C-alpha cells in the first residue's frame, strides 16, 4: 500500500499487476482491464456503471498495459474529484467501494462486455492501415524486434485476439488476482480517516521484489524495409541499437544524447531536417532504457524521402565523428532537469514514478536524479555515441512512386 | 490590480491591466509546485479571414492565422524556439478557429523566458526566405493531417456544409492558399491583431507576485492608439452545399461522418456560450456512453470505440459532427439520422440531466487540476466573455427546456453525410 500525499484537486486509486511478459498472455492481459472496468456485480451493464460514474461527478477508470523490460504490468486507475471541493462526504467511500468491487471482489465478468471488447479490438486491427502512423510503427516493430516478444503489439496479435474465449478470460483473471505481484497506490490529499479506510480495504498486502531484466539482441547487418501504400507523406522510422540500460551508469548520458539528437526544437534533427532543409513538419528521436534502443521517426515529403533518410543517417554519422558541443550538453541538462521537475507537478506521473522506483529498486529523489544528469560529461556522451549502431530502416511510401 | 476569488474551487485570480492595454490574469498554485505556465492569446484565429481595419477591408488567404503562428517564432537573431530550449523551457503555440495561443512551461529561468516570449511577440521578423521555407514545413503538416482519416473527412465534410463561411477551410488552409501568404499579409495581420490591447496573458503555477510586479512594471509602456478590427463573415445560406457523398476507398474499415448544420441563433457572447453548453449537454445525454441509444448501437454492433460526437459553435457557423467506423455503415447512418430527427423529449429525462450536470462539474475540476488545460480554458472562456470558474453557474442555469430547444434545432434536411466505404 502506498500513499502519495499532495495538494491536487483529485484523488487517484491505482493498482499495478505485474508478471513476466509472455506472448501467450498478451491478448488476455490487454482485454482484462477493459472488461473489468465496464461492469461489476452491483452494476451489471455498461450503461448502469456509466450512470454510476456520472453520479460520482464523472469519476473515470483508465487502464493500460505496459512493458518494463521482461515484465508486463496492467495498470488500472480510478480518478475522482476531491470530496472536500465538492463538499460531498460520501464520495470517498463510494469511490473506494467501487474500486474494490470492480477490480477485486466480483463473482463474475460480463460475457457481453468481453464479446464487445473483442469485436472492438478486431475492428481496430482491421482499420489499422487507415491510421498510417500507427500502422508504420507496428510494421517497424515487426522488423526491428524480429525474434523478440516486442515484435507483437502489447494487445496481442489479431490471431491471438480472435482465439480468446470468455472461459479463458475468467481463468486468466483468477491467475492475475492470485499470482501477479500487486501494488496499490492512492494519490491525493487524504486525511487519516481516509487512509485508514484504504488500509482496511486492502489488508495483507505483501511487499514485492521485482526481477527486472533489461536486455536486447546485438546489432545485425542493416535491414531496410520499404512498404507501399496510398499516402500523402512518407513515414520513416530508423532503429539504432544503443546497449545502455536504465540501471547502467551511462543511462543519464544516453538520455542527454537523445535530447540533443531529437527531443527538443533545438535538437540536431529538428534544426537540420526541418528548419534548415524544410523536409518535414515533425522529426524526433526517442530512447528506451528498458530495451537499449534509440529510434528516429518522421513524416517526410514524398518527393524528398530519400534525401531526408540520407540526411538523418548522415547527421547521426557526423555525431559519431564530432560528438556534441559543451553548449548542447548544457542546454540538454537544463531541459532534462526541467522535465524531471515539471513532471513532479503531474499527479499521474507521481504515481508512475513511484511504481518505477519499486520495480527498479531505486528510491532516488528528484534531486538525486537531477544531480546525476548534471554530473554527465562530454566524455560520457562520447561513450554513448560510440555504442550506437544503425540496425533497421522502415519506410512507408506512396504506392504509385 | 484586482483579485477575484472562487472559493468553491479554492482558486483566486489576480488581474493586472497594463498601460499598453494587455491584461494579465494570474492563478498562483499553492506550494510545493515546480512549474509555471504562461499563455499569451489573441482572439484571432482561422476564421478571421475577412476584416476591416483602419477603414480598409482586407481578405487574407485561408490558413494565414496558422502560418503567422509558425512565423512569429522567427527572430532577427534566430529561431525563438531554440532560445526557449536553451533556457530549459518547453514552448508551444496553437491556432484554433477563433484564437491563437503562445505558451511556455518553465521550472527555472521564468523571467528570461517571459521576456523572450514578449520580445518575440513584439518583434515581427518576416522575410521572403523564411516565409518560403515555412511553406514547405506547413505543407508537410497539412499532408500529415490529410493522411489521418478523421481530419481529412472533416475537411471534406465542412465543404459539404458551408458555401461561404470560412469554417469550410481547414485551420491550416490548403497547399494552394498558403502559397499566397507573403510578408505584406503577415505584417498586416500583425498590425491588425497583435496589438497588446488584443492580447491576454494567463499565468498559472508557482509565482512570486512581488517579483512579477517589478518585472512587468519595467516592461510596460504606453502604446499607440488602436482600434480592434471588425471581422466580416460572408452571408451563409441555411441549406447544405451537398447532402450525401459516398466514396469507395482502399481502406480497412468503413467510415461515416455526419455533419449537422445548425442555423445560428441570436444572442450576445454569454448567450452563445450558454447555447453551446446546452447543445454539448444534449449530445452527451443522447449519444454519450451512458445513453440508451449508445448502448443500443453497441449491442447491434453498429459502432465501435471510434464513435464520437462533438459540438462546434463558431461565429455564424454552428454544427455537430458525428464520426464512426462500422461494418454496417449504411444501417448506422439510417439509425443515427432517424434517431436525431425524431421527437427526443422522452430520451432527455430530468434524472439523466441532473446526473450529467454532476459529471460536468467533475470535468471542470479535472480540467483545473492540470495546469496546461487550466490556462488554456481560462483564456478560451475569457475571450468568449466568461471564465472557467463561472461556467458552472451557467451550467446550473440551464434547464431541460433549454436542452430540448437545442435538440429541436436539428433538421433532417440539414444533415450531411460523408461515407468512405471499403473498395
A228 at B interface, C-beta within 8 A: no
Residue B74 has pLDDT above 90, yes or no: yes
pLDDT exceeds 80 at position A206: no
Strands (E), A167-214: 181-187
3-state secondary structure of A202: coil
Domain of A312, in residue numbers = 223-398
A contact test, residue of B70, B80, B82, B88 with most A CBs within 10 A: B88
pLDDT surpassing 80 at residue A205: no
* B85/A51 Cβ within 8 A: no
- Helix, strand or coil, per DSSP, at residue A344: coil
Q: pLDDT tens digit string along A179-201?
A: 999 999 999 999 999 999 999 99
**CB burial class (10 A; 0-12, 13-18, 19+) of residue A353?**
middle
Residues A233 and A194 in one domain: no
DSSP state of A360: T
- Report if residue A207 sits inside a domain: no
Does residue A401 carry a pLDDT above 80?
no
pLDDT at position A7, please?
Answer: 86
Is B66 in contact with B73 (CB distance < 8 Å)?
no
Q: Looking at the predicted structure, is the pLDDT value of residue B92 above 90?
A: yes
Domain count, chain A: 2
The CB-side HSE value for B257 (13 A sphere, CA atoms) comes to: 23
Closest to B108 (Cβ–Cβ): which among A280, A299, A338?
A338
- Same-domain pairing of A46 and A76: yes
Report the gap between the CA of B6 and the closest CA in chain A (Å): 11
Q: Residue A214: inside a domain, yes or no?
A: no
User: What are the residue boundaries of the structural domains of chain B, listed by start?
Assistant: 2-232, 244-422
Nearest to B41 by CA among B113, B120, B102: B102
Identify from B69, B304, B372, B421 which residue to disrupt to test chain A contact, counting A C-beta atoms within 10 A and taking the largest count: B304
Cis bond upstream, residue B32 (ω within 30) = yes
Which CATH code, of 3.90.1150.200, 3.90.1150.10, 1.10.730.10, 3.30.830.10, is assigned to B2-232? Answer: 3.30.830.10
DSSP A57: T
Give the CATH number for residue A102: 3.30.830.10
User: Which of A384, A371, A381 is closest to A328 using CA atoms?
Assistant: A381
Q: Which of B107, B112, B38, B44 is nearest to B80 (CA)?
A: B112
For residues A26 and A169, state if they share a domain. yes
pLDDT grade for A203, boundaries at 50, 70 and 90: confident
B244-422 shares the fold of B2-232: yes
Distance, in angstroms, between B147 CA and closest chain A CA? 6
Q: Is the pLDDT of residue A204 over 90?
A: no
B306 interfaces chain A, CB cutoff of 8 Å? yes
Cα-based torsion angle of the residue sequence B257, B262, B264, B265 in order, rounded to the nearest 10 degrees: -140
Looking at residue B239, its pLDDT comes to 97
Whether residues A87 and A236 share a domain: the answer is no
Which among A387, A392, A133, A396 is positioned nearest to A238, based on CA atoms? A392
Q: What is the pLDDT of residues B238-251, one digit of tens each?
A: 999 999 999 999 99
- Res B329 pLDDT > 90: yes
* Segment holding A298, helix H or strand E: strand A293-300
pLDDT tens across A87-124, in order?
898 999 999 999 999 999 999 999 999 999 999 999 99
| Interval B412-420 mean pLDDT | 98
The answer regarding whether domain B244-422 maps to CATH 3.40.50.1000 reads: no
Measure in Å the smallest separation between the Cα of B369 and chain A Cα atoms.
Answer: 6
- Which of B118, B80, B81, B269 shows the shortest CA–CA distance to B201? B118
pLDDT digits (tens, 9 = 90+) for A294-342: 999 999 999 999 999 999 999 999 999 999 999 999 999 999 999 999 9
Chain A residue with minimal CA distance to B365? A81
Residue A30 phi, psi (nearest 5): -75, -40
Of A45, A131, A338, the CB nearest to B88: A338
A20 and A169 both lie in a single domain: yes
Average pLDDT, chain B: 95
| Interface probe with B: pick from A232, A305, A327, most Cβ of B within 10 Å | A232
Mean pLDDT value across residues B187-196: 96
The answer to whether residue A213 sits within a structural domain is no
Question: pTM (2 decimals)?
Answer: 0.94
Same domain flag for A268 and A346: yes
- Which of A46, A58, A266 comes nearest B295 by C-beta? A46
Residues A99 and A48 in one domain: yes
What average pLDDT does range B369-396 have in this prediction?
Answer: 92
Same structural domain for residues A242 and A156? no
DSSP 8-class letter at A25: G
A88 near B CB under 8 A: no
Same domain assignment for residues A161 and A248: no
Name the residue of chain B whose CA is nearest to A334's CA. B88
- Regarding whether A384 and A330 lie in a shared domain, the answer is yes
Yes or no: say if B158 and B242 are a contact pair by the CB < 8 Å rule. no
- Average the pLDDT over B186-202 and give the result: 96
A325 at the B interface (CB within 8 A)?
no
Same domain, A230 and A369: yes
Closest CA to B75 of B46, B136, B118, B114: B118
Q: Calculate the CA B179 to chain-centre distance.
A: 24
DSSP conformation class of A216: -
C-beta separation of A137 from A238 below 8 A: no
pLDDT over 70 percentage in chain A? 99
Contacts of A231 in chain B (CB under 8 A): 147
β-partners of residue A235 are: A299, A396
Q: Which of A170, A201, A232 is the last residue of a domain?
A: A201
Closest CA to B256 of B308, B295, B292, B310: B308
- Could you give the 3-state DSSP secondary structure of residue A145? coil
CB contact under 8 A, A54 and B137: no
Is residue A211, in this structure, part of any structural domain at all? no
* Residues 8 through 67 of chain B touching chain A, CB cutoff 8 Å: 8-10, 30, 32-35
Tell me, yes or no, whether A347 lies in a domain. Answer: yes
Whether residue A282 contacts residue A290, with contact meaning beta carbons closer than 8 Å, is answered with no
CA atoms within 13 A on the CB side of A187: 22
Amino acid at each position: 500500500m502506498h500513499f502519495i500525499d499532495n495538494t491536487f484537486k483529485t484523488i487517484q486509486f491505482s493498482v499495478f499487476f505485474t508478471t513476466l511478459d509472455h506472448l501467450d498472455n498478451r491478448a488476455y492481459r490487454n482485454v482484462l482491464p477493459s472488461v473489468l472496468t465496464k461492469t461489476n456485480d452491483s452494476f451489471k451493464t455498461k450503461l448502469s456503471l456509466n450512470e454510476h460514474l456520472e453520479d460520482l461527478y464523472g469519476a473515470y477508470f483508465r487502464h493500460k498495459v505496459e512493458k518494463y523490460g521482461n515484465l508486463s504490468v496492467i495498470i488500472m486507475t480510478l480518478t475522482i474529484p476531491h470530496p472536500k471541493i465538492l463538499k460531498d462526504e460520501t464520495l470517498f467511500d463510494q469511490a473506494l467501494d467501487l474500486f474494490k468491487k470492480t477490480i477485486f471482489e466480483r463473482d463474475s465478468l460480463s460475457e457481453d462486455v468481453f464479446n464487445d471488447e473483442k469485436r472492438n479490438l478486431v475492428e481496430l486491427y482491421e482499420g489499422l492501415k487507415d491510421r498510417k502512423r500507427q500502422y508504420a510503427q507496428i510494421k517497424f516493430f515487426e522488423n526491428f524486434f524480429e525474434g523478440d516478444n516486442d515484435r507483437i503489439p502489447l494487445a496481442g496479435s489479431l490471431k491471438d485476439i480472435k482465439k480468446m474465449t470468455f472461459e479463458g478470460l475468467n481463468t486468466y483473471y483468477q491467475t492475475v488476482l492470485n499470482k501477479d505481484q500487486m501494488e496499490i497506490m492512492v494519490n491525493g490529499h487524504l486525511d487519516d480517516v481516509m487512509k485508514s479506510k484504504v488500509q482496511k480495504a486492502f489488508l495483507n498486502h505483501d511487499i514485492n521484489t521485482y526481477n527486472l531484466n533489461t536486455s536486447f539482441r546485438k546489432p545485425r547487418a542493416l535491414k531496410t524495409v520499404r512498404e507501399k501504400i496510398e499516402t500523402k507523406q512518407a513515414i520513416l522510422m530508423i532503429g539504432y541499437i544503443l546497449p545502455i540500460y536504465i540501471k547502467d551508469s551511462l543511462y543519464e548520458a544516453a538520455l542527454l544524447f537523445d535530447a540533443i539528437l531529437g527531443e527538443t526544437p533545438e535538437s540536431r534533427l529538428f534544426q537540420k531536417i526541418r528548419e534548415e532543409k524544410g523536409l518535414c513538419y515533425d522529426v524526433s528521436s526517442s530512447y528506451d532504457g528498458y530495451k537499449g534502443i534509440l529510434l528516429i521517426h518522421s513524416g517526410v515529403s514524398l518527393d524528398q524521402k530519400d534525401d531526408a533518410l540520407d540526411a538523418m543517417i548522415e547527421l547521426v554519422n557526423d555525431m559519431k565523428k564530432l560528438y556534441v558541443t559543451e553548449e548542447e550538453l548544457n542546454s540538454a541538462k537544463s531541459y532534462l532537469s526541467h522535465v524531471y521537475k515539471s513532471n513532479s507537478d503531474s499527479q499521474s506521473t507521481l504515481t508512475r514514478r513511484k511504481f518505477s522506483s519499486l520495480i527498479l529498486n531505486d528510491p532516488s529523489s528528484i534531486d538525486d536524479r537531477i544531480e546525476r544528469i548534471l554530473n554527465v560529461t562530454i566524455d560520457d556522451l562520447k561513450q554513448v555515441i560510440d555504442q550506437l549502431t544503425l540496425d533497421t530502416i522502415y519506410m512507408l511510401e506512396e504506392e504509385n512512386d | 490590480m484586482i483579485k477575484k476569488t472562487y472559493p468553491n474551487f479554492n482558486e483566486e485570480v489576480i488581474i493586472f491591466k497594463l498601460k499598453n492595454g494587455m491584461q494579465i490574469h494570474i492563478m498562483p498554485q499553492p506550494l510545493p509546485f515546480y512549474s509555471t505556465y504562461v499563455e499569451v492569446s489573441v482572439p484571432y484565429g482561422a476564421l478571421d479571414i475577412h476584416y476591416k481595419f483602419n477603414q480598409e477591408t482586407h481578405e487574407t488567404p485561408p490558413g494565414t492565422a496558422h502560418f503567422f503562428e509558425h512565423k512569429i517564432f522567427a527572430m532577427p537573431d534566430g529561431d525563438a524556439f531554440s532560445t526557449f530550449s536553451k533556457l530549459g523551457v518547453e514552448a508551444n503555440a496553437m491556432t484554433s478557429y477563433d484564437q491563437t495561443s503562445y505558451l511556455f512551461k518553465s521550472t527555472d529561468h521564468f523571467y528570461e523566458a517571459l521576456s523572450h516570449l514578449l520580445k518575440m511577440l513584439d518583434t515581427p521578423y518576416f522575410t521572403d526566405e523564411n516565409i518560403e521555407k515555412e511553406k514547405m514545413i506547413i505543407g508537410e503538416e497539412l499532408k500529415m493531417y490529410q493522411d489521418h482519416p478523421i481530419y481529412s473527412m472533416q475537411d471534406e465534410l465542412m465543404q459539404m456544409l458551408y458555401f461561404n463561411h470560412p469554417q469550410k477551410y481547414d485551420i491550416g488552409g490548403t497547399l494552394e492558399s498558403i502559397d499566397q501568404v507573403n510578408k505584406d499579409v503577415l505584417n498586416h495581420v500583425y498590425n491588425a491583431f497583435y496589438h497588446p490591447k488584443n492580447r491576454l496573458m494567463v499565468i498559472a503555477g508557482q509565482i512570486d507576485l512581488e517579483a512579477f510586479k517589478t518585472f512587468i512594471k519595467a516592461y510596460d509602456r504606453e502604446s499607440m492608439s488602436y482600434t480592434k478590427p471588425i471581422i466580416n463573415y460572408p452571408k451563409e445560406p441555411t441549406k447544405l452545399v451537398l447532402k450525401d457523398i459516398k466514396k469507395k476507398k482502399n481502406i480497412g474499415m468503413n467510415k461515416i461522418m455526419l455533419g449537422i448544420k445548425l442555423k445560428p441563433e441570436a444572442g450576445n457572447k454569454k448567450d452563445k456560450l450558454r447555447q453551446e453548453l446546452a447543445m454539448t449537454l444534449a449530445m452527451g445525454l443522447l449519444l454519450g456512453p451512458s445513453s440508451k441509444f449508445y448502448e443500443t448501437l453497441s449491442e447491434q454492433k453498429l459502432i465501435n470505440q471510434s464513435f464520437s460526437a462533438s459540438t462546434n459553435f463558431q461565429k455564424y457557423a454552428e454544427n455537430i459532427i458525428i464520426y464512426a467506423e462500422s461494418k454496417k455503415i449504411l444501417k448506422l447512418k439510417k439509425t443515427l439520422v432517424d434517431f436525431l430527427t425524431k421527437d427526443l423529449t422522452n430520451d432527455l429525462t430530468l434524472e439523466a440531466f441532473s446526473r450529467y450536470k454532476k459529471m460536468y462539474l467533475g470535468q471542470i475540476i479535472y480540467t483545473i487540476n492540470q495546469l496546461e488545460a487550466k490556462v488554456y480554458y481560462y483564456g478560451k472562456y475569457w475571450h468568449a466573455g466568461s471564465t472557467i470558474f463561472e461556467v458552472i453557474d451557467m451550467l446550473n442555469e440551464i434547464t431541460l427546456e433549454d436542452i430540448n430547444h437545442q435538440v429541436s434545432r436539428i433538421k433532417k434536411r440539414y444533415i450531411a453525410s460523408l461515407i468512405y466505404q471499403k473498395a
